[in-house]
Structure 1
Amino acid sequence: MIRFDNVTKIYRTNGQKRTILEKVSFTLRPGTSYGIIGINGAGKSTTMRLIAGTEEPTKGKVHRGLRVSWPLGFAGGFHPLMTGRDNVIFVARIYGEDPRRVLEFVEDFSELGSYLDVPIKTYSSGMGARLAYGMSMAIPFDCYLIDETLAVGDGRFQKRCAEVFNARRETADVILISHDMETIRSYCSEVIILVGGRAIIYDDVNEAIEVYRRLNT
């Protein structure tokens, strides 16, 4: 279970205050996959970062009763001065996983070869995404977070991503941000619409998509 308890998120930039979420409360149930939609600037990525724990609310509390991934393909959590290999081992230990098993999986999946032994700061964005995606798939999570990116790399590698991710979905939930409503229909059974600092949950995906389309007109 993931629960937002009276969550407010405010950013302050150049003396200006911008409220993204205001006193938002909702519960995301295990066994259900959710889409997060809203117009640009509604706070979708902010909400996902709050779910992931990479940002804290300004006020309120986010409760996580399950193991939540970082957004797929997100490489921002790696230490740039450490090698890919050392980053993999470090993250595996943080999550209490067998570093050797995780490393073997990531080596095979990412196809980075000798680049695993050079610092992350030398990686292209695509290489970093491959490493991050491989890490996400190597560690079993109860819920996977997806901010638009369902797969990375070229067509062949994207197919590998899809195959492994679909296998993970058999035992895990998904929280997905997407502007593609067909993707929302394919992956999600309920939808959160963010509008005006509020979060409204719809258990009818088609109804949520219709509301979203009206917001965009």
Structure 2
Amino acid sequence: MIRLQNLNKSYKLNGRTKVVARNINAVFPTGISVALLGRNGAGKSSMLRMISGAMLPTSGRILSTGTISWPVGFSGSFNGQLTGEQNCRFVARVYGVDTDEMRDFVEDFAELGQHFYLPFRTYSSGMKARLAFGVSMAVPFDTYLVDEVSAVGDAAFKEKSNRVFAERMSAAGAIVVSHSMVMLRRTCQAGAVLENGTLSYFHDIEDAIDAHLSNMERALARG
């Protein structure tokens, strides 16, 4: 379970105050995949960063009874001077995962060949994404945070990525940000809509999508 308690978040953007959260109180249940919906600029990525602990709220707090991932596929924290293997081992030690098991899983999953033993800074963007997704899937979290993740590589690799991701979701919960309603319907059971600093939780994903689309229509009507 993840509980947002009296959560407030605002910051200055181009001289104007941007409000992401205005005294939000909400609960994301254990073992449920929740779509986080909102118009562009509503603050969905900021909300995920606060839940992950990478960003602090202005006030209020976020409580959790289980482990929470970093955003799936995020590679920004890897050390460019370390090899793919060394980065895997470092992450494994941080999260208390067996280092050899993580190395073996990621090496097999990412299909980087000898590049797995070369510095991360030498990787192409696609190789970085493969390594990052593999590392994300190698750590068993109670809740996975997903921010517009998409599988990379050829059709066979994408199929493998989707299959492994589905296996993880069968035993965990998730908070998922995506513009693809097809992906959200396939992945999530519930939804939460972020609009003007407020968060509305819906136990049915279809109700959440309907509310989000209504917000989009009203915004278009206002011009």
Q: TM-score range by the shorter chain?
A: over 0.9
Q: In the alignment, is the contact (CA less than 8 A) between 1:92 and 1:99 conserved in 2? A: yes
> Aligned letter for 1:54?
A
Q: CA deviation at 1:80?
A: 1.9
> 2:84 aligns to what?
84
What does residue range 88-127 of structure 1 map to in structure 2 within 5 Å? 88-127=88-127
* Conservation of the 8 A alpha-carbon contact between 2:7 and 2:57: yes
- C-alpha distance in 2 between matches for 1:98 and 1:135: 13
Once the two structures are superposed, residues 62-83 of structure 1 have per-residue CA deviations (whole angstroms, 9 ceiling, x without a partner) of 1122111222211112122222
Aligned residues: 217
Show the counterpart of 1:138: 138
Between the aligned residues of both structures, percent identity stands at: 41
Deviation at 1:95, TM superposition (A): 0.5
Cα distance in 2 for partners of 1:13, 1:183 equals 31
CA deviation after TM superposition for structure 1 residue 114, in Å: 1.7
Answer yes or no: is 1:75 the counterpart of 2:108.
no
CA distance in 2, matches of 1:127, 1:55: 27
> Is 1:35 matched up with 2:35?
yes
The root-mean-square deviation of aligned C-alpha atoms, in Å, is 1.5
Which deviates further from its counterpart, 151-160 or 10-19?
10-19
What does residue 221 of structure 2 align with? Answer: none
Per the TM alignment, residue 49 of structure 1 is displaced from its structure 2 partner at its CA by 1.2
Query: Within 1, Cα distance between the matches of 2:81 and 2:50?
Result: 26
Tell whether the 8 Å contact from 1:7 to 1:60 is kept in structure 2 after alignment. Answer: yes
> 5+ residue gaps in structure 2?
218-223
Q: Can you list the C-alpha shifts for 1:151-192, whole angstroms capped at 9, x where unaligned?
A: 222222111101111221221112111112222222211110
SS in 1 for 2:160: helix
What amino acid sits opposite 1:153 in the alignment?
Answer: G
How far off is 1:117 after superposition? 2.1
Structure 2 match to 1:151: 151
CA positional deviation for 1:17? 2.7
Shift of 1:104: 0.6
Q: Is the 8 A contact 1:5 1:25 kept in 2?
A: yes
Tell me if structure 1 keeps the 8 A contact 2:31–2:143.
Answer: no
- Of stretches 77-86 and 38-47 in structure 1, the one that deviates more from structure 2 is 77-86
Q: Secondary structure at the match of 1:88?
A: helix
Alignment partners' CA distance in 2, 1:13 and 1:69 = 27
Return 5+ residue gaps in structure 1 as ranges: none
Moved more, 104-113 or 149-158: 149-158
